[in-house]
Structure 1
């Protein structure tokens, strides 16, 4: 089998970057060359994995992407503390400005990518892309590209509940269309701004759809979810998408996690708590959860996030702004998570039960899937009941069936050869492309 050279990249969000790195490790194991293309601050991730690296030209950026993301979060913070329907029923002050900033973010990333793939001195056989909107550079370049969907795959099942609603597959379908309508109205400004950029790039056929947040595959695409939790009961998936049960990346650090000294002699189970890179920036919500967990008889590892210095931890806790999550998950008895698909998959891969606090978008769908498949509990931040939350922790440890179900999913993910099969499918598409131009 010939060796091919792949450009791999993702939007500038922790979950998507970690996901693309995991997939790329499979490419390298299959004998291919991987070039990770992203911001300079991620170079070390490529170097550790034996990938080459090309940095985005950040001189074209007139804005700071971190500030755009956090500003967007702050502008919409009140909405994100409401249930999925109520958050889009009314427009909050500065909401349009928040979504305009998000469209600027997409545009900047696309400009940076275009500079690299339009460089005639840099040659690739194909690109693996984890983006959340159509990217003009992909459409305007002859190189084959393959999208990854590292979101909950409900976005790929048109007959299922509306994505990002948190509705069960068993819920009242009369509510589904109403949510879709409200959701689209709530994203009207974002849709308009992103589609203007697509029009300006000459892509009248490519439309941004925030009800999916993934682009249609050029040939084939791949999504990340265990077979036991997939939405096959919802009817056919969209064409040309293929499930990969696991492409969990290797830990960024080889150092094992050691339980901090202040927790070693404390009683109770060890629990990991994280609201992800974005949810943790809502320090009001984070502190609220921390204060409740302070009343638990267990001990906690807290991923505090970028604004973690503003948080006050209790005596039964240890935390840092950023922790080596993969090593921590392996060491704990339970994960309390926002339900972002990356953390969700990592937790399942290592066979840990979870309690999910959905904060936004596909986190609601993962939270409900945990309930429907009886592998943990969902606790909503917008109607948080302190006693219920603490009781869920005890119920997880008392329920052996939850533990057994999660361990079965973990074994299936670990034993799956679906990533190797996905890479063979990609290789075949490259061969067909090369044969067509000979």
Structure 2
């Protein structure tokens, strides 16, 4: 019997497109997948053929302004990208959590009515904050963790956003202490909001909880952390990535070096605003024996006099591109992170914010690529790391094993089967 499954990802392409991948698999099982969406992302879901219902997460504004909100937010913080994760707590991280708490307050105005209209049998939420209306709706809800698995905390693993090494416990303690100190006024405000909705207060530093029904983590086996308290498989399932289906991509003919290895460079839709960094990477690659496809987002007009071995576009169907390349340079967003692992491609991660720091540290720790500073590097550094990505046999072997395991699991199909089990259990 067909059921209605609602997806509510946060307003960023990583979570949004992960949910698209799961929703595609859910529909293949005969259920109806619908999206609850920030107004600026409605068109994204509709572009994949899904029904999408707007939920205001901020003061209403024209759609084009809404779509640019986070882009402008990120661009305003570009100077802070040079700082360590610890030193970003006082600026980027604090501003982010302030904005995220505001989204929860705004969502509470619209969500009850939208849920009454859709009448979902199951709600899947991919966010870092609780929306009380979802918990209180009376139907099962599932949490999707599309960012690093350390969103589900454990005393033995690095705190979320810290970029600390797995065993660097002094780093863990310092980051947690500073985060809690800076975040306390924002957290107090959030707890007051929770009280106004009849929800209990969260402990300091916590803005969400695990679903009592099921929690789906995108992190694959190869990068999982060793926890002090292992996650119960009855409540937590690893999806081994969740790669969506995209239209095919044909690699273009380059003006130069058509027989050389192919690199893909992308800092995501938001990171594309860091045009000076992308221009520097393009210039360096122009001198190296490679070809490169570079995602420049909405800033294509900013680029002139490109080297003959570089092609830029405002957007690429990334899951169709990565299988065809030899290495990837990216920002550590979880889509890029898991897609590279899924297709067995080495990555150089230049993180700037959020879980990019965690993923960059992790890819280096497990020997599946390199963490590289975003600005403090030389042409020789980049050339050496690209050479290792393409020619290191041990790294290739590790990536091949990880890829084979992830592809055997089929994350979207696994997620859809789990969701199907939940909605049909009470049918």
TM-score range, shorter chain: 0.7 to 0.9
Q: Look up the match of 2:393.
A: 400
Does residue 53 of structure 2 align to residue 55 of structure 1? yes
Q: Look up the match of 1:17.
A: 16
C-alpha distance 178-197 of structure 1, shift in aligned 2 (>3 A):
same
In 2, Cα distance between equivalents of 1:160 and 1:98: 23
Unpaired runs of 5+ residues, structure 2, are none
Match of 2:159 among 162, 165, 173: 162
In 2, Cα distance between equivalents of 1:208 and 1:286: 38
Q: Look up the match of 2:194.
A: 198
C-alpha distance 208-117 of structure 1, shift in aligned 2 (>3 A):
farther
> How high is the TM-score relative to the length of structure 2?
0.87
Secondary structure at the aligned position of 1:202 is classed as coil
Does residue 266 of structure 2 align to residue 274 of structure 1? yes
Q: Look up the match of 2:87.
A: 86
The answer to whether the 8 A contact 1:149-1:214 is kept is no
CA RMSD of aligned residues (A): 3.0
Match of 1:320 among 313, 319, 325: 313
Q: Look up the match of 1:374.
A: 367
- What whole-Å deviation, never above 9, does each CA across 1:371-414 have from its counterpart, x for those lacking one? 11111111011533432122100111221221121122111111
In 2, Cα distance between equivalents of 1:208 and 1:181: 11
Unpaired runs of 5+ residues, structure 1, are none
Q: Look up the match of 1:145.
A: 141
Secondary structure at the aligned position of 1:406 is classed as helix
In 2, Cα distance between equivalents of 1:420 and 1:266: 37
Q: Look up the match of 1:115.
A: 113
1:165 deviates by 1.9
Does residue 246 of structure 2 align to residue 247 of structure 1? no
Greater shift after overlay, 24-33 or 415-424? 415-424
In 1, Cα distance between equivalents of 2:15 and 2:211: 17
The answer to whether the 8 A contact 1:305-1:322 is kept is yes
- What whole-Å deviation, never above 9, does each CA across 1:406-438 have from its counterpart, x for those lacking one? 122111111115655544444444455x47xxx
> How high is the TM-score relative to the length of structure 1?
0.85
The answer to whether the 8 A contact 1:156-1:238 is kept is no
Secondary structure at the aligned position of 2:344 is classed as coil
Secondary structure at the aligned position of 1:6 is classed as strand
The answer to whether the 8 A contact 2:124-2:141 is kept is yes
Q: Look up the match of 1:302.
A: 294
In 1, Cα distance between equivalents of 2:315 and 2:301: 11
Q: Look up the match of 1:289.
A: 281
1:355 deviates by 1.0
Q: Look up the match of 1:256.
A: 249
In 1, Cα distance between equivalents of 2:114 and 2:204: 23
Greater shift after overlay, 399-408 or 35-44? 35-44
Secondary structure at the aligned position of 1:301 is classed as strand
In 1, Cα distance between equivalents of 2:222 and 2:250: 29
1:157 deviates by 4.5
Q: Look up the match of 1:412.
A: 405
- What whole-Å deviation, never above 9, does each CA across 1:8-44 have from its counterpart, x for those lacking one? 1211100000111111222222232212332566566
1:221 deviates by 0.9
In 1, Cα distance between equivalents of 2:410 and 2:315: 32
In 2, Cα distance between equivalents of 1:260 and 1:9: 40
Greater shift after overlay, 72-81 or 352-361? 72-81
C-alpha distance 55-354 of structure 1, shift in aligned 2 (>3 A):
same
C-alpha distance 203-105 of structure 1, shift in aligned 2 (>3 A):
same
C-alpha distance 299-59 of structure 1, shift in aligned 2 (>3 A):
closer
- What whole-Å deviation, never above 9, does each CA across 1:29-62 have from its counterpart, x for those lacking one? 22322123325665665566554x0331669843
In 2, Cα distance between equivalents of 1:196 and 1:280: 37
In 2, Cα distance between equivalents of 1:394 and 1:151: 29
In 1, Cα distance between equivalents of 2:34 and 2:264: 33
Q: Look up the match of 1:29.
A: 28
Q: Look up the match of 1:364.
A: 357
The answer to whether the 8 A contact 2:112-2:133 is kept is yes
In 1, Cα distance between equivalents of 2:248 and 2:415: 31
